[in-house]
Amino acid sequence: AVDASMSMSAMCVIGCDGYLGQFIAREGEGTYARVYAMGRRRARERDHDDGEGDYYAQDDDPTTTTMVRVGGVDVTSHTSCVEAMTRAYDDAMRRGVRIAMVVNCAAVSSPGACERAPDVALAVNAPREAWRATREVARMRGCDVPFWVQLSTDHVYDGTRAMSDEGVKRAPVNAYGQTKVACEDALAEDYDDGAYVILRSSIITGPRPPLRDVDRTLFLEFVASALTERDEPTSFYYDEFRCPIAAADISRVVVRDFGTKFAVPRVKPPRRVYNMGGPDRVNRVDMAKACAKYLAKGDDALERAYAAKIRPASCVEASSTRGVAAPPDISMDSSALVCDICQTWAPMSFAEQVKDALK
């Protein structure tokens, strides 16, 4: 059932075809009266050709919480963004609900892809056309501009210190981080009256997505396959530190905390930027060892066999093999998020994330 305080509110999720976007859309489905899902490409209505079915419900009952696909959107095109937002606002107004929040998960998140096509990455990762279109469509209908949740990254830090907080100077060492710094700066210029928040996430973990599969191997799946299926050791970096966070934990913070506390009541958050990492600072070797422990299921000999396939290496090697500068320690202090926004939030430990992803 939809919570009474949310029963007349809706949210939009841009990038709903991606990994995190699916988790956020599904979380919103149980909270908002309407969830408008926008993928990166147009999809045929009721397309069952791939055997997976259409995961976006169509329901004319305005009291029923449903997820509705309003078409694909190109966040670099003003026309495309206006069309998508117009479809969402037309449906919302017809049903008597208010679009309170837009969550943007669309991104070029591969550091290598950003290096190869920095202009394309910048246009997607700093989606000024999407912000402008959202403001334009809302105002044309006499509505408040919705609260905007923008995903950023720990790659905005240079990696020279552990547990950076939001006060640490941004100094990205690769194109991906640079596009996200540009995004953070542009959003502050473009969006109305501080009605936004920027969340810097770390590596995102979790099981396969809830709505439709993604065409890539997830990080912990890669680690598991390296330990269980390969004969030769795989390199994991001992000096590259992150604070991995589960997709489910991000979804709860975005939908339940920012949605209910700021988006719906139209209240500004105490800060505009928050780190959003998990509770554990771990390197890639730590991550691989945690996977080995879980996969062994208490069998010490098997755990040792899996651990023998972990070859410790330096992130200097990573920079060379990937062709992308790798910041060595972009672990984050996320205590401000807990203190200001979600005091009862208890994100999964990395060991719990491994279990959640590989169970």
Nearest to 291 by CA among 231, 353, 216, 348: 353
In 3D space, the residue among 322, 75, 325 whose CA is nearest the CA of residue 183 turns out to be 75
Instruction: Annotate 115-126 with three-state secondary structure.
Output: HHCHHHHHHHHC
| 244-258 average pLDDT score | 97
Say whether pLDDT at 48 is over 90. no
Chain mean pLDDT for the chain = 91
Q: How confident is the model at residue 323 (pLDDT cuts 50, 70, 90)?
A: confident
Q: What is the pLDDT of residue 245?
A: 98
pLDDT grade for 256, boundaries at 50, 70 and 90: very high
Nearest CA to 23 out of 81, 67, 89, 84 is that of 67
Q: Is the pLDDT of residue 222 over 90?
A: yes
pLDDT at 44: 43
Class of residue 27 by CB neighbours under 10 A (exposed 0-12, middle 13-18, buried 19+): buried
* CA–CA gap between residue 243 and residue 273 (Å, rounded): 17
Lookup result for tokens 């191997």: 217
**Which of 61-65, 102-106, 109-113 is least confident?**
61-65
- Average pLDDT score over residue span 147-153: 98
Average pLDDT over residues 103-113: 96
Which helix (H) or strand (E) element contains residue 303? helix 300-307
pLDDT tens across 257-295, in order?
999 999 999 899 999 999 999 999 999 999 999 999 999
Examine the pLDDT at 51 and tell me if it is beyond 60. Answer: no
Lowest mean pLDDT among 115-129, 156-170, 185-199: 185-199
For the chain, what's the residue count?
Answer: 359
CA 37/CA 291 separation, integer angstroms: 33
Please give the pLDDT value at position 6. 64
CATH for 6-211+244-278+331-347 is 3.40.50.720
The Cα angle at residue 290 between residues 286 and 291, in degrees rounded to 5: 120
Position 64 pLDDT exceeds 90: no
Task: Indicate yes or no: pTM above 0.85.
Answer: yes
- Our measurement of the distance from residue 79's CA atom to the centroid of its chain's CA atoms, rounded to an integer in Å, reads 25
Widest pairwise Cα distance in the chain: 66
Helix axes 128-140, 78-95, angle to 10 degrees: 40
In the prediction, which pLDDT does 47 show?
A: 41
- 139 vs 1, residue with greater confidence: 139
Do the beta carbons of residue 264 and residue 9 sit within 8 Å? Answer: yes
DSSP letter, residue 141: T
Residue 12 φ/ψ, nearest 5 degrees? -110, 140
* Residue 49 in this model has a pLDDT that exceeds 50: no
| Orientation of helix 175-190 relative to helix 128-140, angle to 10° | 20
Place of tokens 């976006």: 56
> Which has more confidence, 344 or 1?
344
Grouping H, G, I as helix, E, B as strand and the rest as coil, residue 217 is coil
Percent of the chain beyond pLDDT 90? 82
Closest of 73, 12, 61 to residue 37, by C-alpha: 12
